Amino acid sequence: MGIVSLVTGWPGASGFGSSSTAEQVTDSIDASNLTVIITGGASGIGLETTRVLAMRGAHVIIAARNTKAANEAKHVILDTNKNAKIDVYELDLSSLKSVKAFADSFKDLNLPLNILINNAGVMFCPYQLSQDGIEMQFATNHLGHFHLTNLLFDKMKETAATTGIEGRIVNLSSVAHLYTYEQGIRFDKINDKDSYSDKKAYGQSKLANILHANELSRRLKKEGANISVNSVHPGLIMTDLMRHSYLLMRILKLFTCILWKNVPQGAATSCYVALHPKLKGVSGKYFLDCNEYPTSNFATDPELANKLWDFSHNLVKSISLV
């Protein structure tokens, strides 16, 4: 896959490409025996992912900060699909307390958990700290998802063991992982305001999404757990995620219009990695346009991945003790 495939939409080895839609890549797949949690599933590509997974029969749990908007999105889907199974629960990824509360609420439902899609995020926001005192993009895009995944993967392992169905975890990353700070992850300057760059901080958080997926994949393989973990780049899509740099993105789109996708195309890779039977047993990979794609040297560094895991674990622990 390269720039020609991206521009033309020609399919890659998977049979799909940049012009494929979420409905197309999941055509004829029966997900009626699957339970899915998706963060940020009420808008943009998250909403389209929710709609298509529900169309394929999955029971979808939308984890959203704005439950009013999420419930409105749920009813929009139900208007066209009366049989859709969708529930909404509150989750603010910038608060580890909220992450724990959501995980506890889900466990109390005694439902299985087959698929976790870590989709929500913030992008290019001005410098600010989360409720837990962590730089907002790192806190929301990485740390909240790291904690959520850790709280839920025992449930996922249990589900995979009792059903025999492979569990799947999908981290939404971005090609922006290529544009990060010089060190890749600034462990000693996560909260440094003076040297903060909204673009590089976003790239850092997206790099962290890939490293998290790779390290979790390695650990689960070592355990022999029947769960795959992969990361994806959805493509360039104009959504509310870009609200902090809307004018810049409109100008960029004007000059790079052939590289942009619509929302159904943007949700395709997430749905493909979450559901397609071709990917059974495939783990620790990065996907773009529904095909495996190379990443940066930072993203494939196992020492950096392990260091990020330990750093994130200790950060969560220190916050939880406060």
Angle between helices 96-108 and 144-163 (to 10 degrees): 20
Give the 3-state DSSP-derived string for the chain, with helices as H, strands as E and coil as C: CCHHHHHHCCCCCCCCCCCCCHHHHCCCCCCCCCEEEEECCCCHHHHHHHHHHHHCCCEEEEEECCHHHHHHHHHHHHHHCCCCEEEEEECCCCCHHHHHHHHHHHHHCCCCCCEEEECCCCCCCCCCECCCCCEHHHHHHHHHHHHHHHHHHHHHHHHHHHHCCCEEEEEECCHHHHCCECCECCHHHCCCCCCCCHHHHHHHHHHHHHHHHHHHHHHHHHHCCCEEEEEEECCECCCHHHHHHHHHHHHHHHHCHHHECCHHHHCHHHHHHHHCHHHCCCCCCEEECCEECCCCCHHHCHHHHHHHHHHHHHHHHHHHCC
Q: Decide if pLDDT at 246 tops 70.
A: no
CB 226 within 8 A of CB 159: no
What tokens appear for 140 in the block?
């929301």
Active site residue: 196, 246, 286, 293, which one? 196
Q: Which amino acid is at 255?
A: F
CB 240 within 8 A of CB 45: no
Give CA 61 to chain center in angstroms: 14
Q: Decide if pLDDT at 308 tops 90.
A: yes
pLDDT at res. 235:
87
Question: What is the DSSP pairing of strand 286-288 with strand 291-292?
Answer: antiparallel
In CATH, the architecture of 3-314 is 3-Layer(aba) Sandwich (3.40)
Distance CA 121, CA 123 (A): 7
202 counts as catalytic: no
What tokens appear for 304 in the block?
């950096």
- Any idea which residue has 């790192």 for tokens? 138
Each residue's pLDDT tens digit, 30-87: 999 999 999 999 999 999 999 999 999 999 999 999 999 999 999 999 999 999 999 9
Q: Decide if pLDDT at 155 tops 80.
A: yes
Q: Decide if pLDDT at 218 tops 70.
A: yes
Average pLDDT, the chain: 92
Name the burial class of residue 164, with classes exposed (0-12), middle (13-18) and buried (19+) by CB atoms within 10 angstroms of its CB: exposed
CB 30 within 8 A of CB 275: no
Distance CA 56, CA 62 (A): 16
Distance CA 221, CA 124 (A): 34
Q: How many Cα atoms occupy the beta-carbon half-sphere of 22 within 13 Å? A: 24
Each residue's pLDDT tens digit, 76-130: 999 999 999 999 999 999 999 999 999 999 999 999 999 999 999 999 999 999 9
pLDDT at res. 282:
98
pTM beyond cutoff 0.75:
yes
- Cα angle: 285, vertex 43, 38; to 5 degrees: 45
Radius of gyration of the chain (CA): 18
Q: Decide if pLDDT at 166 tops 60.
A: yes
Mean pLDDT of 174-188: 97
How many beta carbons lie within 10 A of that of residue 55, not counting itself? 17
Q: Decide if pLDDT at 243 tops 70.
A: no
CB 58 within 8 A of CB 85: yes
pLDDT at res. 188:
97
Instruction: Please give the share of the chain, as a percent, with pLDDT higher than 90.
Output: 88
Distance CA 309, CA 266 (A): 28
Distance CA 274, CA 2 (A): 23
